[in-house]
Protein backbone atom coordinates (compact mmCIF):
# COMPACT_ATOMS: atom_id res chain seq x y z
CA UNK A 1 0.00 0.00 0.00
CA UNK A 2 1.15 3.60 -0.62
CA UNK A 3 1.21 5.30 2.77
CA UNK A 4 1.76 8.98 3.64
CA UNK A 5 3.19 9.97 6.99
CA UNK A 6 2.63 13.65 7.84
CA UNK A 7 5.50 14.39 10.21
CA UNK A 8 9.24 13.82 10.51
CA UNK A 9 9.63 13.44 14.30
CA UNK A 10 10.01 10.33 16.43
CA UNK A 11 6.49 9.12 15.59
CA UNK A 12 6.83 9.72 11.86
CA UNK A 13 10.19 7.96 11.84
CA UNK A 14 8.99 4.97 13.88
CA UNK A 15 5.84 4.37 11.83
CA UNK A 16 7.59 5.01 8.50
CA UNK A 17 10.43 2.63 9.34
CA UNK A 18 8.09 -0.14 10.46
CA UNK A 19 5.71 0.15 7.49
CA UNK A 20 8.62 0.27 5.04
CA UNK A 21 10.11 -2.86 6.62
CA UNK A 22 6.74 -4.58 6.00
CA UNK A 23 7.01 -3.78 2.29
CA UNK A 24 4.75 -0.73 2.06
CA UNK A 25 5.72 2.27 -0.08
CA UNK A 26 6.10 5.15 2.37
CA UNK A 27 6.44 8.89 1.75
CA UNK A 28 7.06 11.18 4.72
CA UNK A 29 5.83 14.78 4.50
CA UNK A 30 7.50 17.88 5.87
CA UNK A 31 7.06 21.68 5.60
CA UNK A 32 10.39 22.36 3.90
CA UNK A 33 12.43 19.47 2.48
CA UNK A 34 15.75 21.36 2.38
CA UNK A 35 15.36 22.68 5.94
CA UNK A 36 14.47 19.21 7.25
CA UNK A 37 17.44 17.59 5.50
CA UNK A 38 19.76 20.32 6.85
CA UNK A 39 18.94 19.55 10.50
CA UNK A 40 21.72 17.78 12.41
CA UNK A 41 20.48 17.73 16.01
CA UNK A 42 18.10 15.17 17.55
CA UNK A 43 14.62 16.43 18.51
CA UNK A 44 13.31 16.87 22.07
CA UNK A 45 12.16 13.23 22.17
CA UNK A 46 15.62 12.03 21.13
CA UNK A 47 14.68 11.19 17.54
CA UNK A 48 17.71 11.59 15.26
CA UNK A 49 17.83 14.39 12.69
CA UNK A 50 15.75 13.24 9.71
CA UNK A 51 18.69 12.98 7.28
CA UNK A 52 20.59 10.70 9.65
CA UNK A 53 17.54 8.50 10.16
CA UNK A 54 16.87 8.41 6.39
CA UNK A 55 20.33 6.94 5.68
CA UNK A 56 19.20 3.74 7.39
CA UNK A 57 15.82 3.78 5.59
CA UNK A 58 16.64 4.36 1.91
CA UNK A 59 13.26 3.10 0.65
CA UNK A 60 11.34 5.81 2.55
CA UNK A 61 10.95 8.96 0.44
CA UNK A 62 10.57 12.54 1.66
CA UNK A 63 8.28 15.14 0.14
CA UNK A 64 6.22 18.16 1.01
CA UNK A 65 3.06 17.60 3.03
CA UNK A 66 1.05 17.91 -0.22
CA UNK A 67 3.28 15.49 -2.16
CA UNK A 68 3.03 12.93 0.62
CA UNK A 69 -0.75 13.27 0.97
CA UNK A 70 -1.22 12.91 -2.79
CA UNK A 71 0.95 9.77 -2.78
CA UNK A 72 -0.79 8.04 0.12
CA UNK A 73 -3.81 5.77 -0.23
CA UNK A 74 -3.74 5.97 3.56
CA UNK A 75 -2.56 9.10 5.42
CA UNK A 76 -1.14 9.12 8.95
CA UNK A 77 -0.98 12.38 10.90
CA UNK A 78 2.20 12.53 12.99
CA UNK A 79 2.52 16.32 13.07
CA UNK A 80 2.79 18.23 16.34
CA UNK A 81 -0.52 18.92 18.03
CA UNK A 82 -0.20 22.68 17.66
CA UNK A 83 0.79 22.29 13.99
CA UNK A 84 -1.58 19.51 12.89
CA UNK A 85 -4.37 21.59 11.36
CA UNK A 86 -1.83 23.74 9.49
CA UNK A 87 0.05 20.65 8.31
CA UNK A 88 -3.15 19.03 7.03
CA UNK A 89 -4.20 22.28 5.34
CA UNK A 90 -0.83 22.22 3.57
CA UNK A 91 -1.62 18.67 2.42
CA UNK A 92 -4.57 20.10 0.46
CA UNK A 93 -8.15 18.92 0.98
CA UNK A 94 -8.27 17.32 -2.48
CA UNK A 95 -5.26 15.12 -1.64
CA UNK A 96 -6.99 13.90 1.54
CA UNK A 97 -10.60 13.57 0.39
CA UNK A 98 -12.15 10.12 0.76
CA UNK A 99 -9.07 8.69 2.49
CA UNK A 100 -8.64 7.23 5.95
CA UNK A 101 -6.55 9.56 8.15
CA UNK A 102 -5.01 7.86 11.16
CA UNK A 103 -4.58 10.71 13.65
CA UNK A 104 -1.84 10.14 16.25
CA UNK A 105 -1.50 13.78 17.32
CA UNK A 106 -2.01 15.16 20.81
CA UNK A 107 -2.93 18.81 21.49
CA UNK A 108 0.05 19.37 23.78
CA UNK A 109 1.15 22.95 24.48
CA UNK A 110 4.73 23.15 25.73
CA UNK A 111 4.78 26.98 25.89
CA UNK A 112 4.67 26.96 29.71
CA UNK A 113 7.34 24.25 30.03
CA UNK A 114 6.90 20.76 31.45
CA UNK A 115 4.52 19.11 31.92
CA UNK A 116 2.69 20.37 28.81
CA UNK A 117 -1.02 21.23 29.07
CA UNK A 118 -3.80 20.25 26.69
CA UNK A 119 -4.71 23.17 24.44
CA UNK A 120 -8.04 21.52 23.49
CA UNK A 121 -9.82 19.61 26.24
CA UNK A 122 -13.05 18.48 27.94
CA UNK A 123 -15.70 19.60 25.43
CA UNK A 124 -13.61 19.24 22.27
CA UNK A 125 -10.58 17.37 20.94
CA UNK A 126 -7.99 17.77 18.22
CA UNK A 127 -9.43 14.67 16.53
CA UNK A 128 -12.82 16.39 16.29
CA UNK A 129 -11.29 19.64 15.06
CA UNK A 130 -9.48 17.73 12.30
CA UNK A 131 -12.68 15.89 11.33
CA UNK A 132 -14.62 19.21 11.24
CA UNK A 133 -11.91 20.91 9.16
CA UNK A 134 -11.77 18.00 6.69
CA UNK A 135 -15.30 16.54 6.48
CA UNK A 136 -14.45 14.35 3.47
CA UNK A 137 -11.69 12.56 5.40
CA UNK A 138 -12.34 9.47 7.54
CA UNK A 139 -10.48 10.40 10.73
CA UNK A 140 -9.56 7.56 13.08
CA UNK A 141 -7.86 8.63 16.30
CA UNK A 142 -5.51 5.98 17.67
CA UNK A 143 -1.97 5.22 18.91
CA UNK A 144 -1.71 8.64 20.62
CA UNK A 145 -1.80 7.10 24.13
CA UNK A 146 1.61 5.40 23.92
CA UNK A 147 5.15 6.40 22.94
CA UNK A 148 6.48 5.83 19.43
CA UNK A 149 8.40 2.59 20.21
CA UNK A 150 5.29 1.08 21.82
CA UNK A 151 3.05 2.11 18.88
CA UNK A 152 4.92 -0.18 16.52
CA UNK A 153 5.70 -2.96 19.02
CA UNK A 154 3.26 -3.14 21.95
CA UNK A 155 4.88 -6.37 23.12
CA UNK A 156 8.02 -4.39 24.01
CA UNK A 157 6.32 -3.36 27.28
CA UNK A 158 7.82 -5.80 29.81
CA UNK A 159 4.63 -6.05 31.91
CA UNK A 160 2.42 -6.98 28.95
CA UNK A 161 0.61 -5.21 26.15
CA UNK A 162 -1.41 -2.08 26.98
CA UNK A 163 -4.90 -1.51 25.54
CA UNK A 164 -5.29 0.55 22.38
CA UNK A 165 -8.27 2.76 21.53
CA UNK A 166 -9.84 3.75 18.21
CA UNK A 167 -12.29 6.65 17.79
CA UNK A 168 -14.01 7.76 14.61
CA UNK A 169 -17.30 8.37 12.82
CA UNK A 170 -16.79 5.85 10.00
CA UNK A 171 -17.30 2.25 11.13
CA UNK A 172 -15.62 0.76 8.06
CA UNK A 173 -12.55 2.95 8.54
CA UNK A 174 -12.30 1.93 12.21
CA UNK A 175 -12.53 -1.76 11.27
CA UNK A 176 -9.77 -1.30 8.69
CA UNK A 177 -7.53 0.61 11.12
CA UNK A 178 -8.09 -1.96 13.88
CA UNK A 179 -6.91 -4.65 11.45
CA UNK A 180 -3.86 -2.54 10.52
CA UNK A 181 -3.01 -2.20 14.23
CA UNK A 182 -3.15 -5.97 14.68
CA UNK A 183 -1.52 -7.03 11.41
CA UNK A 184 1.24 -4.39 11.21
CA UNK A 185 2.12 -3.76 14.83
CA UNK A 186 0.72 -6.74 16.77
CA UNK A 187 -1.87 -4.92 18.90
CA UNK A 188 -3.97 -7.60 20.64
CA UNK A 189 -6.41 -5.47 22.68
CA UNK A 190 -7.99 -2.84 20.42
CA UNK A 191 -11.11 -1.14 21.79
CA UNK A 192 -13.54 0.77 19.55
CA UNK A 193 -14.56 3.64 21.83
CA UNK A 194 -17.20 5.13 19.51
CA UNK A 195 -17.43 8.26 17.38
CA UNK A 196 -14.76 10.94 17.04
CA UNK A 197 -16.00 12.77 20.17
CA UNK A 198 -14.53 9.87 22.17
CA UNK A 199 -11.09 11.18 21.13
CA UNK A 200 -11.57 13.61 24.05
CA UNK A 201 -10.92 10.78 26.49
CA UNK A 202 -7.96 9.39 24.54
CA UNK A 203 -6.32 12.81 24.32
CA UNK A 204 -6.97 13.55 28.01
CA UNK A 205 -5.06 10.34 28.83
CA UNK A 206 -1.98 12.47 28.05
CA UNK A 207 -2.33 14.39 31.31
CA UNK A 208 -1.90 11.02 33.05
CA UNK A 209 0.71 9.75 30.57
CA UNK A 210 3.21 12.60 30.96
CA UNK A 211 3.05 12.47 34.76
CA UNK A 212 3.41 8.69 34.81
CA UNK A 213 6.44 9.04 32.53
CA UNK A 214 7.96 11.32 35.17
CA UNK A 215 7.53 8.57 37.77
CA UNK A 216 8.53 5.46 35.82
CA UNK A 217 11.34 7.28 33.95
CA UNK A 218 10.81 5.31 30.73
CA UNK A 219 8.44 5.83 27.78
CA UNK A 220 8.01 2.05 27.47
CA UNK A 221 4.70 1.69 29.30
CA UNK A 222 0.99 1.99 28.65
CA UNK A 223 -2.44 1.67 30.22
CA UNK A 224 -4.49 -1.54 30.23
CA UNK A 225 -8.27 -1.74 30.59
CA UNK A 226 -8.76 -4.68 32.95
CA UNK A 227 -12.25 -6.03 32.57
N1 LIG B 1 6.72 11.32 20.49
C2 LIG B 1 5.90 10.39 20.93
O3 LIG B 1 6.35 9.34 21.44
C4 LIG B 1 4.41 10.58 20.79
C5 LIG B 1 3.54 9.67 21.41
C6 LIG B 1 2.16 9.81 21.22
C7 LIG B 1 1.66 10.83 20.43
N8 LIG B 1 2.55 11.72 19.87
C9 LIG B 1 2.01 12.78 19.04
O10 LIG B 1 2.46 12.52 17.70
C11 LIG B 1 2.72 13.74 17.03
C12 LIG B 1 4.17 13.73 16.53
O13 LIG B 1 5.05 13.72 17.63
P14 LIG B 1 6.64 13.69 17.41
O15 LIG B 1 7.24 13.64 18.76
O16 LIG B 1 7.00 12.67 16.40
O17 LIG B 1 6.97 15.08 16.69
P18 LIG B 1 6.60 16.61 16.97
O19 LIG B 1 7.86 17.31 17.28
O20 LIG B 1 5.46 16.73 17.93
O21 LIG B 1 6.07 17.04 15.51
C22 LIG B 1 6.97 17.09 14.45
C23 LIG B 1 6.26 17.37 13.17
O24 LIG B 1 5.32 18.44 13.32
C25 LIG B 1 5.50 19.35 12.24
N26 LIG B 1 5.15 20.71 12.68
C27 LIG B 1 5.57 21.35 13.79
N28 LIG B 1 5.04 22.59 13.85
C29 LIG B 1 4.31 22.73 12.73
C30 LIG B 1 3.53 23.80 12.20
N31 LIG B 1 3.41 24.97 12.83
N32 LIG B 1 2.87 23.59 11.03
C33 LIG B 1 2.99 22.43 10.39
N34 LIG B 1 3.71 21.38 10.83
C35 LIG B 1 4.37 21.53 11.99
C36 LIG B 1 6.98 19.25 11.91
O37 LIG B 1 7.18 19.66 10.59
P38 LIG B 1 8.62 19.68 9.89
O39 LIG B 1 8.87 18.28 9.43
O40 LIG B 1 8.47 20.63 8.79
O41 LIG B 1 9.60 20.13 10.95
C42 LIG B 1 7.26 17.79 12.11
O43 LIG B 1 7.02 17.06 10.93
C44 LIG B 1 2.45 14.87 18.04
O45 LIG B 1 1.15 15.38 17.83
C46 LIG B 1 2.55 14.17 19.38
O47 LIG B 1 1.77 14.78 20.40
C48 LIG B 1 3.89 11.62 20.04
pLDDT tens per residue across span 114-172 = 999 999 999 999 999 999 999 999 999 999 999 999 999 999 999 999 999 999 999 99
Q: What's residue 44's pLDDT?
A: 82
pLDDT surpasses 90 at 46 = no
Q: What's residue 103's pLDDT?
A: 99
Q: Output the average pLDDT for the chain.
A: 98
Distance from the CA of 119 to the center of ligand 1, in angstroms? Answer: 15
Distance from the CA of 25 to the center of ligand 1, in angstroms? Answer: 21
pLDDT in tens, 68-85: 999 999 999 999 999 999
Q: What's residue 193's pLDDT?
A: 98
- Listed in sequence order, the DSSP H helices in the chain are 10-21, 33-38, 50-55, 65-71, 84-91, 93-96, 126-133, 148-152, 171-180, 199-216
pLDDT band of 96, cuts 50, 70, 90? very high
Ligand 1 pocket at CB < 6 A = 7-12, 30-32, 36, 43, 45, 78-81, 83, 86-87, 104-106, 108, 144, 147-148
Q: Which residue owns the Cα nearest ligand 1 atom 38?
A: 30
pLDDT surpasses 90 at 26 = yes
Q: What is the CA radius of gyration of the chain?
A: 16
Report long-range pairs for 150-153 (Cβ below 8 Å, ≥24 apart).
150/219, 150/220, 150/221, 150/222, 151/11, 151/14, 151/15, 151/104, 151/185, 152/14, 152/15, 152/17, 152/18, 152/184, 152/185, 153/18, 153/185, 153/186
pLDDT in tens, 162-184: 999 999 999 999 999 999 999 99
pLDDT surpasses 90 at 45 = no
Q: What's residue 176's pLDDT?
A: 98
For residue 27, list its beta bridge partners: 4, 61
Distance from the CA of 9 to the center of ligand 1, in angstroms? Answer: 6
Alpha-carbon torsion (166, 171, 175, 180), positive or negative: negative
Amino acid sequence: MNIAIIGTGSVGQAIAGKLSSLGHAVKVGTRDIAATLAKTAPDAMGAPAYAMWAKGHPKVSLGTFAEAAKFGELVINAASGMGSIAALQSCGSANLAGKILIDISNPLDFSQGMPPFLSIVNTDSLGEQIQKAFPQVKVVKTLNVVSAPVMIDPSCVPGGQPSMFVSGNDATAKTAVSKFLKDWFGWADVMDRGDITTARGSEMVLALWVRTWGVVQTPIFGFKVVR
